[in-house]
Amino acid sequence: MSEPDVIVIGSGFGGSVAAARIAEAGFKVVVLERGPWRDTVPVRSMGIVRRSPLPRGRLLFTRLLRAIGGNRMPGSRLRLNSHGLFELFFGSGCTIACSSGVGGGSHVYSAINIRPLAPNYWDGHAPGVSDAIMSAHYDAVLERMDSTTPMADHRIPNTTPVRFRKHAKDIGPALPPPDPRIGFLLPDSPDEAPKKIVDAHGVERYEVDYKSNEDGFLGSPTGSKTTLDVVYLAPAMKQGLEVLDMAEVITITRQHQGPRYRVDYRDHHSGQIRSLTGEHVIVAAGTLNTLNILLRSRAQGGLSGMPMLGRRFGTNGDYFGYWDYNEQDVEQSVGLPTTGGVRVLDDPDCPVIGGGGLPAVDSYPLPGFLRQRMKRAYMIAGLGEDSMTGTVSLAHGKLKVEYDPDQSPIFAKLKATFAEIGRRTGHRVYAPKTPITVHPTGGACLGASIETGVVDANGEVFDHPGLYVADASALPRAPGGPPSMTIAAWADRLATRFIARHSPR
Ligand SMILES: Cc1cc2nc3c(=O)[nH]c(=O)nc-3n(C[C@H](O)[C@H](O)[C@H](O)COP(=O)(O)OP(=O)(O)OC[C@H]3O[C@@H](n4cnc5c(N)ncnc54)[C@H](O)[C@@H]3O)c2cc1C
């Protein structure tokens, strides 16, 4: 392979957006993604031969988890199955869940496509970045994600008022955020069979089938949920973007001769260690893994400096629970995977609470009565701005995450709200003592200088020209709501600045 202009590590919201934009501007870009292409209708229609099934049926046990790790686990992380969909890391004070596969978190997300809920989110962190500047990047990513504003005439079944009608005096729909958008192909009429849609690049997808309950956090086999492999990677691949799946980056080394960086990765197809070199490397492996790669590379002497690396780590205030909402006539698994959220009606300070039914329950290899019970349960998720006081470091070669939820008032409020919801409805919310986050942020934050951050307004690491961070680890603050559009907008900004400052060879 000839040397690329840009090597991108990871293909989630940061990696896919940055890679596609830069490749479409004429640069030679290679994406290294540790996970496989997922076996979905759109990926099949793209002609990708090596695809990996989503966890369904018996594969639920073997394909659900890629790896587990934690501060207290012996050794480094334990890889269970390199085709697995999720990775879990048990830190001190928080558990992190992230995903693996071409398209990253877009396969498992609930497709809520919104701007930050924290006011003036981008103002005041670094010269050259502000709410006014970032606004156009949100517009661009929302347009490319083909995000839809759910309207009454979409007739989405089983939204919050229907599901919780028995408790309508106490529990109602969450207040919609400004510009509420979702990333689903909604049918014109929910009564007809979902139609096949073929986009301008020949990629096939189906509209949502509200009854099939297939589109939640275990992936979207029909492609009705908008994923990054479809809207960003597929068009860019037609213009030369190269995506190497099952390619797990181990370290980055700054070279003194030849191209500036060497990236070593394990090719899980062959089991071999390979290398790529290039002048520009964009790290976008998701917060946990971006920090792991950068910290490990620095510990091994490949990189240096970055005094703020691993500082200001946060969880976006995520707090998950299992709401055992066991009402006989309510199937939480019908409709979209997210219901629009719930709110305790007479609490003016009620935090953001989302959620929905468990996905693909009919495929679980469990007794029928248990599946029926699970279809009535609601996965409840609270979130809000946390104070990002956590740290991520390497101790004796092992990744260590330290986070104290008590330093962020949002958790006390969420715990109290879950308890109140349980008390008023008579259906308890079971939540672990240690919060689980699916929105880890920070650790390689945007800042005004090397004393306050790891990357500058171009997304470039202060003391490493040509090295960039495009994912959630660069976010300077918790968005307070679902963060994927904020990560995508940051990557879009990074790509715009890169294209303006460099020329393709
Ligand atoms: C269950 C669930 C529901 C969610 N719902 C929503 C929602 O509705 N709205 C929303 O905005 N957000 C949602 N999120 C969060 C969203 O998915 C993440 O915030 C987002 O994906 C993070 O983007 P990223 O680019 O930082 O990382 P990711 O999207 O996680 O991408 C990182 C990629 O890098 C790859 N990678 C990791 N290590 C390596 C390595 N060493 N070498 C090569 N590749 C590597 C990973 O496999 C992955 O594909 C949800 C998350 C989960 C888990």
Decide if 176 is inside a domain. Answer: yes
Pocket residue to mutate for ligand 1, from 32, 34, 268, most atoms within 8 A of Cβ: 34
Decide if 442 is inside a domain. Answer: yes
Strands (E) across 279-425 are located at 280-283, 311-314, 319-323, 342-344, 352-356, 378-383, 390-395, 398-402
Domains in the chain, number: 1
pLDDT attached to residue 163: 92
For the stretch 231-276, pLDDT in tens is 999 999 999 999 999 999 999 999 999 999 999 999 999 999 999 9
Decide if 101 is inside a domain. Answer: yes
Decide if 419 is inside a domain. Answer: yes
Residue owning the nearest CA to atom 13 of ligand 1: 109
**In whole angstroms, what separates CA 229 from the centre of its chain?**
13
- What is each CA distance from 172 to 141, 305, 318, 345, 356, in whole angstroms? 31, 50, 21, 6, 14
Q: Is 86 helix (H, G, I), strand (E, B) or coil?
A: strand
Pocket residue to mutate for ligand 1, from 77, 439, 441, most atoms within 8 A of Cβ: 439
pLDDT attached to residue 351: 94
| Cα–Cα distance measured from residue 497 to residue 28, given in angstroms and rounded to the nearest whole number | 17
Pocket residue to mutate for ligand 1, from 244, 289, 436, most atoms within 8 A of Cβ: 289
CA 222 to ligand 1 centroid distance, Å: 20
Decide if 28 is inside a domain. Answer: yes
CA 99 to ligand 1 centroid distance, Å: 6
Counting from 1 in the atom list of ligand 1, the atom nearest the Cα of 289 is 38
CATH number of the domain residue 92 falls in: 3.50.50.60
- For residue 48, give every residue at least 6 positions away whose Cβ sits within 8 Å of its Cβ, in sequence order, or none: 37
Decide if 132 is inside a domain. Answer: yes
Q: Which domain covers residue 77, as residue numbers?
A: 6-501
Q: Is 162 helix (H, G, I), strand (E, B) or coil?
A: helix
Q: Which two tokens stand for residue 308?
A: 């703020």
**Is the full-model pTM beyond 0.95?**
yes
Is residue 332 within 8 A of residue 377, CB to CB? The reply is yes
Residue 233 is given by DSSP the state I
Counting from 1 in the atom list of ligand 1, the atom nearest the Cα of 473 is 26
Is residue 494 within 8 A of residue 471, CB to CB? The reply is no
Which residues line ligand 1 at a C-beta cut-off of 6 Å? Answer: 9-15, 32-35, 97-101, 104-105, 108-112, 217, 248-249, 284-287, 289, 293, 438-439, 471-472, 482-484, 487
CA 288 to ligand 1 centroid distance, Å: 10
pLDDT attached to residue 342: 93
Decide if 1 is inside a domain. Answer: no
Q: pLDDT below 70 — which residues of the chain?
A: 1
For the stretch 155-213, pLDDT in tens is 899 999 999 999 999 999 998 899 999 999 999 888 889 999 999 999 999 999 998 88
